[in-house]
Structure 1
Amino acid sequence: MAIGQRIKFFRNRKGMTQKQLGEQLGFMGKTSDVRMAQYESEARVPKIDLVKQMSQIFDINTHALTVPDIDTHIGLMHTLFALEDMYGLKVKNVDGQPHLCLDSSISAPGSSVDEMFRAWMEQSDKLENDEISKEEYDEWRYKYPELDTYQKRAKVPSQELSDYLVKELTKKEK
C-alpha cells in the first residue's frame, strides 16, 4: 500500500475528513482538504516532519504510515500488517509456532489471493519433497505468474484459429 493509500486508510479509521486532518496539520481554509487530497492521490509526497505529525494524530508508529522498508525487521512487520488490512493475512498459532494464513472471511477459498498462496504452497512443497530444485523454485518465484501452473486458466483460441478449425472440421464431415 503506497503512502497516499495509507494516509487515507488511517484517516478513515479515525473517522476524519480530509479537511479535518489538513486543519490539524496546520493547513487553513480551502488548502487543508486540497493538500490532503494531493497526498492521498500521491500528486504530492509529504515530508518526513508532516508524516510524523500525521502518525501522532493517528496515534500510530511512523512505520505504519510510510511505505515499509522490508529490509528491516520492523519494516517487514509493518508490511505484514498492511497485508492483513488489505488481504486478510493472519498469524495463527499452530502447535506453538506462528503460521501465516488467509482469513477466509476476507479471502475466501477460491479467491485470487487464495489461489496464489496455494500455487506458492504447491511449489514450496515440491521443493521440500525434492521434486524440483532450488533453481527451479527460484525461477518460478522470480518469473511469477508466468510459470504458474496451479491456476487452471482456460485458454481460448483466437477467433481466427477457431474459424479455421470449424472450417476444416466442416470439410471433413462432408
Structure 2
Amino acid sequence: MITISKAFGQDPVEFNDETAADRVGARIRTIRNARGLSLAELGEKVGLNADRMQKYENGARKPKTDMLKKIAEALGVSTLALADPVTTSYIGAMYAMFELEHNFNMKIEPTDENHVPGLCLTVDFKDSLYEYMKDWYDVYAQMKSDLEVANSEEEKAEIINAYHNWEWTYPQGIVDKTEKSLEKARLKRKIAELQERYDQLDQNDSDIE
C-alpha cells in the first residue's frame, strides 16, 4: 500500500529540512567506515576533535559548506557524495540516481526499444518504491494514450497541463484516488449488506405465502 500521509504529520519540505543533518551525517559515517578511519583520525584531517565529528555523524550538527568540502577532501570523495543531491546538473542528477540505487534498490538496465539502444531505471515489484512508480507510470501512460486521440492542440495542452498538475500536487492525486477507492469499497459492502437483507425479507415473504 502506498503511504500518503505526511512524515510524522509534518509538511514534507519541513521534514526534509529538519532531517538534512541526519542524512549528511549518515553519508559521512558510511564513507569514513569504508575508508577505515576512526572519528579521531578523520577529525584530525579536518582540524576537529572526535566529539565534533561524532555530532556531525549523529545529525546533531550539520557541517557548513566549507567544512563539508574539507571532510569530502579528507575522505577522498566529491562533496556531492555527502550532500543531498540537487538535480540542476547532469552530475547532480547522477548522484540523485545513486541515492535511488542505495536507498530503494533501483537498478540500471539496458534497453533496445524499437531497435534504439538506451538505458532505463528499474525497481523490483517487491521494493516499496515500486508502488509509487507504478502509480506514476499509470498516470503517464494514460496521458500518452489521451494525447494520441486528442482532436486539437488545445485539447493536447489541457491533457499535458493536467499531467503536470498531478506532478506538482503529488501525492494529492494518490490521496484522491485512494479516498475514492475506499468510498467505492464502502458503498460496495453496503450494497451487498442491503442485498442480503432484501433477500432475507423476500425469503420471509415467500415462507408466509
TM-score by length of 2: 0.60
Structure 1 Cα separation of the partners of residues 179 and 164 of structure 2: 21
Match of 2:138 in 1: 122
Match of 1:91 in 2: 108
Match of 1:81 in 2: 98
1:62-114, Cα deviation, whole Å (9 max, x unpaired)? 12112232212211111111121111122211012011112x3xxxx243211
Instruction: Give the CA deviation at 1:116.
Output: 0.6
Match of 1:26 in 2: 47
Match of 1:138 in 2: 164
1:101 equivalent in alignment to 2:122: yes
Q: In structure 1, what residue type is equivalent to 2:29?
A: K
Structure 1, unpaired ranges of 5+: 157-164
Structure 2, unpaired ranges of 5+: 1-19, 148-157, 184-189, 202-209
Structure 2 Cα separation of the partners of residues 146 and 69 of structure 1: 23
Structure 2 Cα separation of the partners of residues 41 and 21 of structure 1: 15
Change in Cα spacing, 1:124 to 1:59, as seen in structure 2 (3 Å) is: same
- Once the two structures are overlaid, the 10-residue window that deviates more, 118-127 or 34-43, is 34-43
Change in Cα spacing, 1:110 to 1:133, as seen in structure 2 (3 Å) is: farther
Q: In structure 1, what residue type is equivalent to 2:131?
A: E
Q: How many residues align?
A: 154
Structure 1 Cα separation of the partners of residues 54 and 140 of structure 2: 42
Structure 1 Cα separation of the partners of residues 38 and 102 of structure 2: 20
1:43 equivalent in alignment to 2:64: no
Structure 1 Cα separation of the partners of residues 68 and 164 of structure 2: 37
- On the 8 A contact 2:105/2:127 being kept in 1, the answer is no
Looking at CA atoms only, which structure, 1 or 2, has the larger radius of gyration? 2
- On the 8 A contact 2:104/2:127 being kept in 1, the answer is no
Match of 2:151 in 1: none
Structure 2 Cα separation of the partners of residues 142 and 15 of structure 1: 43
TM-score by length of 1: 0.70
Q: CA RMSD in A?
A: 3.3
- Aligned-pair identity in percent equals 27
- On the 8 A contact 1:115/1:151 being kept in 2, the answer is no
1:69 equivalent in alignment to 2:86: yes
* Bigger helix share: 2
Structure 1 Cα separation of the partners of residues 180 and 57 of structure 2: 35
Change in Cα spacing, 1:122 to 1:71, as seen in structure 2 (3 Å) is: same
